[in-house]
Chains A and B, each alone.
Chain A
Amino acid sequence: MKRTDKYQRYQRQILLKEFGTAGQEKLSVARILVVGAGGLGCPALQYLAAAGVGTIGIVDFDVIDVSNLPRQILYTEEDIGKPKAETAAKKLKSLNPGIEIKTYNIKLDNQNAIEIIPGYDIVIDGSDNFSTRYLINDACVLCNKPLVYGAVLRFEGQVGVFNLTTEQTKTKTNYRDLFPEPPDPSSTLSCSEAGVLGVLPGIIGILQATETIKIITGIGKPLADSIISFNALNNQFYECSIPASVDSHRQMPKNIKEFLKFNYEWFCGASSVNNEISVQEFDALRSAGKITIIDVREQGELPEVNEFLFIHIPLSRFKESVAEISTKNKIVVFCQSGIRSRQAVKILNEVSGEYDAYSLKGGIIEWKELQENISV
Chain B
Amino acid sequence: MIIKINLLFFGQAADITGKASWNFSGITNTLELNEKLIENFPGLQTIKYSIAVNRKIVRENTILNNEDTVAILPPFSGG
- Are B78's CB and A191's CB within 8 A? yes
Find chain A residues with CB under 8 A from B79 CB: 36, 38-41, 125-128, 150-152, 191, 201
**Do A182 and B75 touch across chains, with their CB atoms under 8 A apart?**
yes
Q: B-facing mask of A135-167, CB < 8 A → 1, else 0?
A: 000000000000000111110101000000000
Residues in chain A near residue B11, CB distance under 8 A: 153-154, 156
Report chain B residues within 8 Å CB of A247.
59
Known pairs A187-B46, A231-B20; A179 contacts B75 (CB<8 A): yes
Select one of A39, A188, A241 contacting B75, CB under 8 A: A188
* A308 interfacial by beta-carbon distance below 8 Å: no
- Chain A residues near B57 (CB, 8 Å)? 177-178, 240-243
Binary per-residue interface labels of chain B (12-42) against chain A in the complex, 1 for a CB within 8 Å, 0 otherwise? 1000000010000000000000000000000
A151-B77, A152-B78, A156-B10 known; A183 vs B47 contact (CB < 8 Å): yes
A229-B12 CB under 8 A given contacts A181-B48, A183-B48, A188-B77: no
**A245–chain B nearest beta-carbon distance, Å:** 5
Given contact pairs A179-B50, A181-B48, A184-B48, A240 touches B56 in the complex (Cβ within 8 A):
yes
Closest to A241 in B: B56
Mask of B50-79 contacts with A, CB within 8 angstroms, 1/0: 101001110100000000000101111111
* A190 located at the interface, meaning its Cβ lies under 8 Å from any Cβ of chain B in the complex: yes
In the bound complex, what is the Cα–Cα distance between A170 and B11 (angstroms)?
A: 30
Question: Quick check: B74 and A39 within 8 Å, CB to CB?
Answer: no
Q: With the chains together, A239 CA to B56 CA distance in Å?
A: 9
Q: Are A229 and B47 in contact (CB under 8 A)?
A: no
Contacts of A152 in B (CB 8 A): 76, 78-79
Cβ-defined contact, B20 with A241, below 8 A: no
Looking at the assembled complex, report how far the CB atom of A186 sits from the nearest CB atom of chain B, in whole angstroms: 8
Q: Which of A151, A183, A240, A243 contacts B78 (CB 8 A)?
A: A151
A219 an interface residue at 8 Å Cβ cutoff?
no
Using known A-B contacts A36-B79, A183-B75, determine if residue A234 contacts B12 with beta carbons closer than 8 Å: no
Known contacts A183-B48, A238-B8, A238-B71, A153 near B76 by CB under 8 Å: yes
Q: Which residue of chain A has the shortest Cβ distance to B56 in the bound complex? A: A241
Q: Known contacts A238-B8, A239-B55: does B48 contact A128 (CB below 8 Å)?
A: no
Question: Per a CB cutoff under 8 Å, which of A125, A180, A188 touches B76?
Answer: A188
Q: A238-B71, A240-B52, A240-B57 are in contact. Are A130 and B77 (CB under 8 A)?
A: yes
In the bound complex, CA of A272 to CA of B57 (Å): 29
Q: Select from chain B the residue with minimum beta-carbon distance to A184.
A: B48
When chains A and B are docked, how far (Å) is the Cα of A36 from the Cα of B46? Answer: 29
**Interface: A285 (CB within 8 A):** no
Q: Which of A40, A229, A243 contacts B73 (CB 8 A)?
A: A229
Nearest residue, chain B, Cβ from A195:
B78
CB distance from A247 to the nearest CB of B (A): 6
Interface flag for A248 (CB, 8 Å):
yes
CB distance from B68 to the nearest CB of A (A): 13
The distance in angstroms between the C-alpha atoms of A127 and B77, with both chains bound, is: 8
A35 to chain B, nearest CB (A): 9
A129 near B: Cβ within 8 Å? yes
Shortest C-beta distance, B58 to chain A (Å), equals 8
Question: In the complex, A189→B47 CA distance in Å?
Answer: 11
- Chain B residues positioned under 8 Å from A361 (CB to CB): none
Within 8 A of B (CB), among A238-274: 238-243, 245, 247-248
A-B complex: 5 closest residue pairs judged by Cβ atoms: A191-B78, A153-B76, A128-B79, A240-B52, A183-B48
Q: List 20 A-B contacts (CB under 8 A).
A: A36-B79, A39-B79, A127-B79, A128-B77, A130-B77, A133-B77, A153-B76, A178-B57, A184-B46, A188-B74, A190-B77, A191-B78, A201-B78, A201-B79, A229-B73, A231-B10, A240-B57, A242-B56, A242-B57, A243-B56
